[in-house]
Amino acid sequence: MGYLIAKALISGVIIAIVSEVAKRSPGFGALIASLPLVSILGMIWLWRDTAEAPRLAAHAEATFWYVLPSLPMFLLVPALLRRGVPFWPALLAGCGLTVALYVAMTWIGPRFGLKL
The DSSP code for 110 is G
Rounded to whole angstroms, the Cα distance separating 28 from 20 reads 10
**Residue 25 placed within a domain:** no
Per-residue model confidence as pLDDT tens digits over 78-100: 999 999 999 999 999 999 999 99
pLDDT at residue 114, as a whole number: 84
Question: Which of 10, 68, 1 is CA-nearest to residue 42?
Answer: 10
Indicate the number of domains in the chain. 1
**Residue 26 placed within a domain:** no
pTM of the shown model:
0.74
pLDDT at residue 104, as a whole number: 94
C-alpha to C-alpha distances, 36 to 32, 33, 42, 100, 116, nearest whole angstrom: 9, 8, 10, 22, 19
Per-residue model confidence as pLDDT tens digits over 26-63: 888 888 888 788 889 889 999 999 999 999 999 999 88
Answer whether residue 116 shows pLDDT above 80: no
Which H, E and C letters describe 11-70, residue by residue?
A: HHHHHHHHHHHHHHCHHHHHHHHHCCHHHHHHHHHHHHHHCCHHHHHHHHHHHHHHHHHH
**Residue 78 placed within a domain:** yes
**Residue 4 placed within a domain:** no
**Residue 96 placed within a domain:** yes
Domain that holds residue 60: 53-116
**Which amino acid makes up residue 116?**
L
**Residue 65 placed within a domain:** yes
Rounded to whole angstroms, the Cα distance separating 46 from 63 reads 13
pLDDT at residue 37, as a whole number: 82
